[in-house]
Chain A
Amino acid sequence: MSFRVPRRTIAAFLGPAVAALAIVGIAPLLYAVWKSLHYFNLTKLAQQRFVGLENYAAVLSDPVFWQAMGRTGLLFIIAVPIQISLGLLIALVLHRPGLTFWKTLTRLSLVLPMATTYAVVGLLAQVMLNQKYGVINQMLGWVGVDAINFIGDPTNAFIAVVMWDIWQWTPFVALVLLAGLATVPPEIEEAAKLETKSNWTVLRHVQLPFLIPSLVAVLILRTADTLKLFDMPFTMTRGGPGSATEFIAVLIERVGNRQFDIGMAAAQSIIMLAITIILARLYIRLFYREVR
């Protein structure tokens, strides 16, 4: 049963949090919508004027915006399947019985990459991937590969961002999937292992159904975080060389903070937000509703 409580009490408990989130979350958003309807450039404040939906029309027909979106999508399409396959492999190894102490240790080391300050991850990439002084190129040298200009070449810089994204988020995916594997009832798993020797059959027909919720969670969270991705490419390449690593959040930052065109940046971010919210709703519908 639930308590029947006067509305006043409910308002007293919830009011402060709701008010705070409305002030810091919704008020700036409404202000952004208002500004997105203006020509508003910090260096040309005199020319500020109401332009209606012009900014939106400009963004929607702007190849630079869609290229940044495409790049963000490409990063997702390349990195996430690798993260899921490696993560699943790691989760399956950790899920097997035996070597308990070493597995606990490994699990702890998996926690480190995803907690690391994203800005530092980008700085680390700068240092480790440098063509002349970088340790990664030294290691490639050991196996007979010539030093690669990771940061300076457009394609390589993109690959470097993908690599670093994989480094930071594969452990996360592994731990999420490991938590999913723990939801398989042990008696079912053991019965299946007596029936067949093939690990693949057990995975496909016994464990996978239990992993679906975790996989959905991973997919949608990685989508949201890839759309948000800013710190790591920003500290690593500043979106360059050219615009090779200019993902959507980096582009919006450049337009707003380095070109001072806040009206345009607002329109871009509102469009991105619309995409994000559609995906978030999808996530909530697909997943949270079952949990509740």
Chain B
Amino acid sequence: MAAPIQRRSLWGEGLLLLLIGVFCVFPFYWMVTTSLKTQVVALESPPVWWFTPTLANYWEVLFVDKVGPALINSIIVAVCTTALAVGLGTPAAYALARFEFRGKTDLWFWFITNRFVSPVVLAFPVFLISRELGLRDTHLALILMYLTFTLPIVIWICTDQFRSIPRELDEAAMLEGASQWRIFRSICLPLAMPGVAVSSILSFIFSWNELLFAYILAPKAAKTAPAMAVTFMEGYDVPYGKIMATSTLIVVPVLIFALLASKHLVRGLTMGAVK
């Protein structure tokens, strides 16, 4: 008597899982298929599900519409800001995890509070300042501004990671006469590599996805891919295939990284509020 009920509920559960999966994945399916349509096919009403796919949109956006250079800008900005955040953030995280000093809690709160500051607050003053300093439309301006969210992420996740390394290791090294910097560099940092990797992936994802700073600070030469995608919408004739090809090119690297760090993505998005 119990078995058939069990089986039926399993089927129901499977169906529910499928529904959840389709809910999450369908927009991506539609994005990729639309990117393989010609404009004529994309503008069929009602939309068609079966058609002859073409890579023409990708060819066109990459080499004619300058999405290629925009993607390169995105890579430069995301990689540099991540490297900088790790370089600056890991020593700070080590200090927060190991040293006792006055004002530590306040400092830590300040780092975390950055998670809540909207970029729109900083964008205009930075726009004016970067104009004065001749940094407008440069990679450097974006790299520096992206530190406002990458640095707190690195500090949070790495502080956690350093705390999990036994202090006895530090103490033993200290008895050997190693300097604090040496202990950090040669003992703790290598052991904290998992945390460094996760926080690097997360700061890469967040910088890659950023739009507002990029849109306001980098209108031409340093334009990143998301800002590029926005400009496609500005004409009268909306090129669906090209927009979706650009979107696919933007989203695919992020999704790969997100799947690699899937266990930690939620932790990063909540600044560690959830393990």
Chain A positions near chain B (C-beta within 8 angstroms): 1-5, 7, 9-10, 12-14, 16-18, 20-21, 23-25, 27-29, 31-32, 35, 90, 93, 96, 98-99, 102-103, 105-120, 123-124, 126-128, 132-135, 137-138, 141, 167, 171-172, 175-176, 179-180, 213-214, 217, 221, 224, 227-228, 230-231, 234-235, 249, 252-253, 256-257, 262, 265-266, 269-270, 272-273, 276-277, 279-280, 283-284, 287-288, 291
Nearest CB of chain A from residue B23's CB, rounded to whole Å: 7
Query: Could you tell me the dominant secondary structure of chain A's interface residues?
Result: helix
| Complex: A207 Cα to B77 Cα, angstroms | 43
Cβ of A235 and Cβ of B233 under 8 Å apart?
Answer: yes
B221 to chain A: which residues have CB within 8 Å?
none
Say which one of B27-35, B56-64, B190-198 lies at the interface with A: B27-35
A25 to B149 Cα, complex, angstroms: 10
Max chain B Cβ within 10 angstroms of own Cβ: one of A20, A114, A141: A20
Please, what's the 1-or-0 string for B92-127, where 1 marks a CB less than 8 Å from any CB in chain A? 101110111100000101111111111111111110
What residues of A have a CB within 8 angstroms of the CB of B28 in the complex?
112, 116
B222 contacts partner chain A, Cβ-Cβ < 8 Å? no
A276 to B120, CA, bound (A): 12
- B21 located at the interface, meaning its Cβ lies under 8 Å from any Cβ of chain A in the complex: yes
Known pairs A116-B255, A221-B273; A176 contacts B155 (CB<8 A): no
Assess the A118–B209 pair: CB atoms within 8 A.
Answer: yes
Cβ distance A224 to chain B, nearest Cβ, rounded Å: 5
User: Any chain A CB within 8 A of the CB of B45?
Assistant: yes
Main secondary structure of the interface of B (DSSP, over half): helix
**Interface residue tally on B, bucketed by range:** 35 or more
Complex CA distance for A228 and B114, rounded to whole angstroms: 12
Min CB distance B236 to A, Å, is 14
- Bound-state Cα–Cα, A5 to B181, Å: 12
B254 interface residue per 8 A CB criterion: yes
Question: Chain A residues with Cβ under 8 A from B16's Cβ?
Answer: 93
B54 at the interface (CB under 8 A from A): no
B42 located at the interface, meaning its Cβ lies under 8 Å from any Cβ of chain A in the complex: yes
Give the distance in Å from the alpha carbon of A245 to the alpha carbon of B107 in the complex: 37
CB-based closest 3 A-B pairs: A115-B258, A17-B92, A13-B95
In the assembly, what is the distance between CA of A115 and CA of B250, in Å? 11
B121 near A272 (CB under 8 angstroms)?
Answer: yes
Name the residue on A nearest B225 (C-beta).
Answer: A117
> Of B111, B257, B259, which one neighbours A108 at CB under 8 angstroms?
B259
Known: A3-B98, A17-B92. A29 touches B121 (CB 8 A): yes
A96: chain B residues at CB < 8 Å are 13
- Residues of A within 8 Å of B98, CB to CB, are 2-3
Q: Which residues of A contact B21 (CB under 8 A)?
A: 105-106, 109
Contact among B151, B247, B274 with A123 in the assembled complex (CB-CB below 8 Å) = B247
- A/B pair count, beta carbons within 8 Å: 288
Which residue in chain A gives the minimum CB-CB distance to B146?
A: A24
Whether A171 contacts B95 by the Cβ 8 Å rule is no
**Quick check: A273 and B209 within 8 Å, CB to CB?**
no
Q: Kindly list chain B residues whose C-beta atoms are within 8 Å of the C-beta of A110.
A: 20, 24
Residues of A within 8 A of B68 (CB): none
Query: In this assembly, does B70 line the interface, its C-beta being within 8 Å of a C-beta of chain A?
Result: no
Q: Give, as a whole number of angstroms, the nearest-CB distance from B40 to chain A.
A: 11
Which among B27, B47, B211, B250 has the greatest number of chain A C-beta atoms within 10 A? B27
Residue B238 at the chain A interface, CB threshold 8 Å: yes
Bits for B30-50, please: 1 = Cβ < 8 Å to A, else 0: 110010000000111111000
Q: Is B244 an interface residue (CB 8 A)?
A: yes
Give which listed residue, A21, A123, A175, A230, contacts B114 with CB less than 8 A: A21
Q: Contact check, A108 vs B262: say whether CB atoms are below 8 A apart.
A: yes
Contact: B92 with A18, CB < 8 Å? yes
Judge whether B147 and A273 touch: CB under 8 Å.
Answer: no
Interface centre among B21, B28, B47, B265 (most CB of A within 10 A): B47
